[in-house]
């Protein structure tokens, strides 16, 4: 019989070949301290010879841990999440665990459904850009172990990039170029970040004596750019801040179609500094942050210390620095 035709070896095969009970095999492979060294070595040797691999879910029965973590993102096609996924995967691997990824498609109902469906198979959840309400997240925290990225809820561990200070940098940059008013092309109604960014825009523009107008919501994707660009032109805007880079890129395309020159006629700024933001025409001015680090920190906050405990709640809401990357999509306000 060819190797590819053989049945996968089971714990019963290992027990028979090693001449021990199946319970002894289980203890030797999952809790070796409870088996004498000679027996343990024999079981491990036989398991290796047979090519036996333990089942993570079976291992979880005595320990209560699967060594698996779920990462939920609101739109897996958005390059913004690439860094978060990379950082989370690296940290999960370093902890000896496995990361699984789920796309929630901007739906709070799908977020909750994923959590309930996977709850018996993972040790906890990291949710990036959650669209659920604070109350929903709080209720889930009572039953499941979870941390947040790009979202803050009282009492729930989280890692975010400092969008308040980042928004200040954006407004001050535009003001230095002579812009006296800005338009914000907002993202989804359920987006916590969209609300926080608008709040920061209003606060900074008031402080500097500028005016601000909110338009939208628009889909946080390139396809939403055309409607956002048309709305901004209808307002007579000289500077527009898009909810994210994908929306900003869509707006740049629409401005080109309408023969509106960027930045001579209008300046455009995005958020996230995604891969490709500097490939646009013109290259996009955008707010950058340590999103890889946010992914790593979220895993640390979820898994806690080596003994499985969490750090104190007061230290669990981490804010990472942000910085404005100035490129060719912003310029002096039209005279």
pLDDT (tens digit, 9 = 90+) per residue, 252-302?
999 999 999 999 999 999 999 999 999 999 999 999 999 999 999 999 999
Q: Is the dihedral of CA 327, 328, 330, 333 positive or negative?
A: positive
Other CB atoms within 10 Å distance of the CB of residue 225? 24
Strand 322-325 relative to strand 285-289, pairing: antiparallel
Q: Please report the pLDDT score of residue 108 as a whole number.
A: 94
- CA dist 177 and 141 (Å) reads 45
Query: Which domains, and CATH codes, for the chain?
Result: 11-54 (1.10.260.40), 68-161+292-318 (3.40.50.2300), 164-290 (3.40.50.2300)
Other CB atoms within 10 Å distance of the CB of residue 95? 16
Is pTM beyond 0.85? Reply is: no
- CA dist 258 and 123 (Å) reads 51
Q: What angle do CA 308, 312, 317 make, to 5 degrees?
A: 105
pLDDT in tens, 145-176: 999 999 999 999 999 999 999 999 999 999 99
Q: Which of 41-45, 99-103, 116-120 has the highest mean pLDDT?
A: 99-103
- CA dist 229 and 183 (Å) reads 10
- CA dist 218 and 131 (Å) reads 15
- What's the mean per-residue pLDDT of the chain? 90
Higher pLDDT, 317 or 305: 317
The helix (run of H) or strand (run of E) holding residue 184 is strand 181-185
- CA dist 148 and 128 (Å) reads 6
Let me know if 48 is exposed, middle or buried by CB neighbors in 10 A (0-12, 13-18, 19+). Answer: exposed
- CA dist 138 and 30 (Å) reads 34
Encode burial over 134-145: b for 16+ CB neighbours within 10 A, e otherwise.
eebbeebbeebb
Let me know if 19 is exposed, middle or buried by CB neighbors in 10 A (0-12, 13-18, 19+). Answer: exposed
Q: What is the DSSP letter of 154?
A: T
pLDDT in tens, 196-239: 999 999 999 999 999 999 999 999 999 999 999 999 999 999 99
Starting at the earlier edge strand, list the strands of the sheet with 239-242: 211-215, 181-185, 239-242, 267-271, 285-289, 322-325
Q: In the chain, what percentage of residues exceed pLDDT 70?
A: 91
Q: Please report the pLDDT score of residue 58 as a whole number.
A: 54
- Rounded mean pLDDT, 15-32: 83
Higher pLDDT, 38 or 199: 199
């Amino acid at each position: 019989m060819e190797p590819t035709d053989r049945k996968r070896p089971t714990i019963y095969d290992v027990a028979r070949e090693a001449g021990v009970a199946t319970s002894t095999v289980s203890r030797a492979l999952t809790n070796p301290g409870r088996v004498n060294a000679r027996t343990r070595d024999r079981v491990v040797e036989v398991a290796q010879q047979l090519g036996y691999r333990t089942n993570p879910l079976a291992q979880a029965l005595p320990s209560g841990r699967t060594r698996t973590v779920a990462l939920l993102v609101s739109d897996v096609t958005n390059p913004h999440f690439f860094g978060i996924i990379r950082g989370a995967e690296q940290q999960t691997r370093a902890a000896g665990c496995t990361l699984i990824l789920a796309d929630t498609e901007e739906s709070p109902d799908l977020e909750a459904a994923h959590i309930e469906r996977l709850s018996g198979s993972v040790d906890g959840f990291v949710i990036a850009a959650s669209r659920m309400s604070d109350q929903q997240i709080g209720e889930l925290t009572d039953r499941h172990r979870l941390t947040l990225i790009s979202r803050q809820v009282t009492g729930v561990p989280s890692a975010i990039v400092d969008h308040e200070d980042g928004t200040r940098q954006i407004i001050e940059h535009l003001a230095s170029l002579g812009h006296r008013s800005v338009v914000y092309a907002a993202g989804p109604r359920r987006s916590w970040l969209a609300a926080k960014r608008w709040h920061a825009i209003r606060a900074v523009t008031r402080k500097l004596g500028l005016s601000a107008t909110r338009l939208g919501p628009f889909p946080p994707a390139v396809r939403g750019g055309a409607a956002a660009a048309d709305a901004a032109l209808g307002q007579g805007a000289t500077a527009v801040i898009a909810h994210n880079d994908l929306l900003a890129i869509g707006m740049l395309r629409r401005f080109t179609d309408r023969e509106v020159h960027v930045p001579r006629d209008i300046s455009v700024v995005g958020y996230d500094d995604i891969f490709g933001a500097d490939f646009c025409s013109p290259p996009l001015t955008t707010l950058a942050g340590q999103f890889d680090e946010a992914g790593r920190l979220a895993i640390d906050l979820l898994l806690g210390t080596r003994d499985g405990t969490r750090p104190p709640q007061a230290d669990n809401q981490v804010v990472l620095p942000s910085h404005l990357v100035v490129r060719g999509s912003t310029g002096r306000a039209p005279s």
